[in-house]
């Protein structure tokens, strides 16, 4: 259960990154409209909340769970930031429009 | 908010970091290692690998040994064996004053079968005493903890784009990259940083603000201690010789009353006197708060004198903050998270120190001396701490005052690293010290062989990852503007 909760936190942190102007641009390689960013952010917060609920169930103690949640969600945000960095630095693959020639172009 | 306020906070943030950064780095790194104090205790005593101990039997063996070998000591302080540390840790005062501390064999109660080392206790004590005599080391640690709280709060104010930059790290951009790293590592784990800094400052608050206690107790600190821990008070010695009651029924009764918390510590005051007192303290592994269940026994009859549980709100609040700081409650996953977040806090401090020199260099100011000292501290402390582990395996097991020599190895290595860093140009110094840190950590991983148990495997993995980090740092070539290529 704790492992699932932490995976949920990682996914939540990635959604929060997607909901961030700079993070979203890095992950999707294009600007994300504000409405979608808001949606991603809300989904991220929901996942983080669900992860906390999972940790409370796994640990059986609110304070234990809150401590673990605060520590692991911070680490998950750092991993999400590193994912944004790596994605941002990866070479851009040419789009089909750039590669396909002939009648379709 | 007036623009002047933010600038003032930035100035305060910078100067707090500059004045206390090096001390804080040492405190944070030793505190981070203290999270695994018990595991380090076992790693540094390979004789104990794979052993288990019954806390009651191990404590009885330890008390029997102390009865034979330290009968005139005014007090014995024992930390009971537990699943993480299968030995009894004993500290006792010699009649002429100095304290002695040893790990005692869980079966025989003697220290002879276990190598003499402080193990993880060194990092734990260093974390708040800095190997400086009482009370000066604790005062320095208290001031540093307050400074960390101040640096974090002013940093929050100074960091303008708190949420916009939340997921931003732009590598290979010199000062910008260091600032991104500093902000990212500081902001994402901010709750941990704040709780650890604040609870550390609260733990040592009586040193920073002693006047309330001095005024209320009129210079009688013993009365304050009695009020703080009513059940821990020892009866004064009568001068009449006495014999300790059989320990087994006392300890079984204590274990029964503590239930799943188990026995944490046993203190025996005036063990050879008719007024001998035995204090049993319950374990804290199942509560965040450090709220103790204490039993006080008449040492000569075994009769229970007090069964005390702490319920006073202020002390319970303090105990919760202290418990959050020391993380004794933490299950393995949370302990690892504490460890990782501790390393991140160390990285925040190190990146802040580096950032300051880069900023001054861009302003055309000389930073060479500070840069060299930065190298000596940021890369030197890991070398020195890794040297402690290496000394544990390299020094002969029967060397007299072996534990003292291990500690000397830390400070000798640290001094050497500082001298080396001061002697070399900063860019070369960074690289040389990073290589040395990589080699020392690689040595720790090697000495963890054959990696049969979780402790050895964990030590090796952490050491290899940190060695890889220093190896990467050594491979970077700093450009004149401080921009790594």
B318 CB-side CA count, 13 A: 15
Residue B163 tokens, joined = 């949420």
Contact at 8 Å (CB) between A66 and A2?
A: no
Give the A:B interface size as CB pairs under 8 Å. 78
Q: Does any domain span residue A9?
A: yes
Q: What is the predicted pLDDT for the residue at B485?
A: 42
pLDDT band (50, 70, 90) for residue A103: very low
Q: Does any domain span residue A18?
A: yes
pLDDT band (50, 70, 90) for residue A102: very low
Q: For residues B485 and B478, what is the distance between their CA atoms, to the nearest angstrom? A: 6
Q: Does any domain span residue A45?
A: yes
Q: For residues B335 and B39, what is the distance between their CA atoms, to the nearest angstrom? A: 11
pLDDT band (50, 70, 90) for residue B481: very low
Q: Does any domain span residue A99?
A: no
Q: For chain B, positions 121-180, list CB contacts with chain A under 8 A.
A: 163-171
> How many other C-beta atoms lie within 10 A of the C-beta of residue A53?
14
Q: Provide ipTM, 2 decimals.
A: 0.83
Q: Does any domain span residue A102?
A: no
Percent of chain A with pLDDT over 90: 42
Tens digit of each residue's pLDDT (9 = 90 or more) over B16-36: 998 999 999 999 999 999 999
Tens digit of each residue's pLDDT (9 = 90 or more) over B392-409: 999 998 899 999 999 999
Q: Quote the number of domains for chain A.
A: 1
Residue B442 tokens, joined = 């690689």
- Could you say which of B167, B171, B341 has the minimum Cβ distance to residue A23? B167
Residue B46 tokens, joined = 């390979």
Q: What is the predicted pLDDT for the residue at A96?
A: 58
Range of the domain at A32: 2-89
Q: Does any domain span residue A24?
A: yes
A72-76: average pLDDT? 91
Percent of chain B with pLDDT over 70: 97
CA-based nearest distance B312→chain A, Å: 19
> Which has the closest alpha carbon to B299: B248, B239, B253, B242?
B242
Q: Does any domain span residue A96?
A: no
Contact at 8 Å (CB) between A70 and A76?
A: no
Exposed/middle/buried for B308, CB within 10 Å: 0-12, 13-18, 19+?
A: middle
- The segment with the largest mean pLDDT, out of A21-25, A55-59, B120-124, is B120-124
Q: What is the predicted pLDDT for the residue at B483?
A: 47
Residue B242 tokens, joined = 């006495």
pTM for the structure as a whole: 0.91
Q: Does any domain span residue A95?
A: no
CB atoms A74 and B338 under 8 Å:
no
Q: What is the predicted pLDDT for the residue at A104?
A: 42
**Residue B484 clears pLDDT 50, i.e. is over it:** no
CA-based nearest distance B167→chain A, Å: 4
B336 touches A: beta carbon within 8 Å: no
**Residue B58 clears pLDDT 50, i.e. is over it:** yes
Q: For residues B35 and B20, what is the distance between their CA atoms, to the nearest angstrom? A: 22
Contacts of B170 in chain A (CB under 8 A): 85
B411-427: average pLDDT? 95
Interface test with A, best of B152, B167, B290, B338 (most A CBs within 10 A): B167
Tens digit of each residue's pLDDT (9 = 90 or more) over B340-394: 999 999 999 999 999 989 888 888 888 889 999 999 999 999 999 999 999 999 9
CB atoms A78 and B344 under 8 Å:
yes
pLDDT band (50, 70, 90) for residue B3: low
Backbone angles phi, psi at B264, to 5 degrees: -95, -55
């Amino acid at each position: 259960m704790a492992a699932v909760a932490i995976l949920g936190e990682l996914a939540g942190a990635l959604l929060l990154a997607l909901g961030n102007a700079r993070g979203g641009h890095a992950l999707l390689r294009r600007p994300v409209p504000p409405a979608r960013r808001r949606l991603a952010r809300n989904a991220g917060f929901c996942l983080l909340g669900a992860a906390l609920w999972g940790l409370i169930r796994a640990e059986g103690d609110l304070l234990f769970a809150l401590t673990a949640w605060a520590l692991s969600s911070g680490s998950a945000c750092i991993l999400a930031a590193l994912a944004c960095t790596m994605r941002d630095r990866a070479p851009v693959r040419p789009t089909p429009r750039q590669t396909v020639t002939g009648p379709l172009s | 908010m007036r623009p002047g306020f933010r600038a003032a906070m930035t100035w305060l943030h910078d100067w707090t970091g500059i004045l206390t950064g090096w001390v804080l780095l040492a405190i944070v790194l030793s505190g981070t290692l203290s999270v695994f104090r018990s595991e380090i205790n076992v790693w540094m005593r390979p004789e104990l690998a794979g052993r288990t101990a019954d806390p009651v039997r191990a404590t009885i063996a330890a008390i029997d040994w102390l009865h034979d070998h330290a009968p005139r000591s005014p007090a014995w302080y024992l930390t009971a064996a537990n699943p993480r540390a299968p030995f009894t840790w004993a500290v006792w005062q010699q009649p002429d004053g100095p304290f002695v501390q040893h790990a005692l064999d869980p079966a025989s109660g003697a220290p002879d079968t276990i190598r003499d080392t402080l193990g993880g206790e060194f990092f734990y004590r260093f974390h708040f005493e800095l190997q400086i005599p009482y009370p000066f080391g604790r005062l320095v640690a208290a001031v540093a903890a307050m400074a960390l709280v101040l640096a974090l709060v002013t940093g929050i104010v100074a960091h303008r784009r708190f949420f916009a930059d939340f997921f931003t790290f732009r590598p290979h951009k010199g000062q910008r990259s260091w600032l991104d790293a500093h902000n990212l590592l500081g902001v994402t784990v901010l709750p941990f940083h704040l709780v650890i800094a604040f609870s550390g400052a609260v733990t040592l608050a009586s040193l920073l603000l002693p006047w309330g206690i001095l005024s209320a107790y009129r210079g009688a600190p013993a009365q304050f201690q009695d009020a703080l821990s009513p059940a821990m008070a020892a009866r004064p010695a009568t001068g009449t010789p006495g014999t300790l009651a059989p320990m087994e029924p006392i300890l079984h009764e204590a274990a029964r009353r503590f239930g799943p918390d188990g026995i944490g510590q046993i203190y025996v005051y005036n063990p050879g006197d008719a007024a001998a007192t035995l204090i049993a303290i319950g374990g804290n592994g199942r509560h965040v708060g450090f709220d103790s269940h204490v039993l006080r026994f008449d040492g000569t009859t075994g009769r229970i004198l007090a069964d005390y549980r702490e319920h006073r709100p202020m002390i319970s609040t303090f105990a919760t903050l202290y418990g959050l700081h020391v993380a004794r409650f933490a299950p393995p996953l949370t302990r690892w998270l504490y460890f990782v977040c501790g390393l991140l806090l160390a990285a925040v401090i190190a990146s802040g120190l580096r950032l300051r020199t880069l900023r001054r260099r861009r302003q055309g100011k000389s930073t060479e001396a500070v840069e060299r000292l930065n190298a000596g501290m940021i890369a030197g402390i890991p070398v020195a701490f890794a040297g402690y582990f290496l000394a544990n395996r390299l020094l002969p097991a029967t060397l007299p005052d072996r534990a003292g020599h291990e500690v000397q190895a830390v400070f000798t290595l640290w001094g050497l690293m500082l001298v080396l860093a001061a002697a070399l140009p900063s860019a070369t110094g960074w690289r040389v010290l990073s290589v040395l840190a990589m080699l020392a950590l690689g040595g720790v991983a090697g000495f963890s062989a054959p990696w049969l148990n979780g402790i050895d495997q964990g030590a090796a993995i952490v050491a290899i990852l940190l060695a890889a980090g220093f190896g990467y740092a050594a491979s970077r070539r700093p450009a004149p503007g401080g921009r790594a290529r």
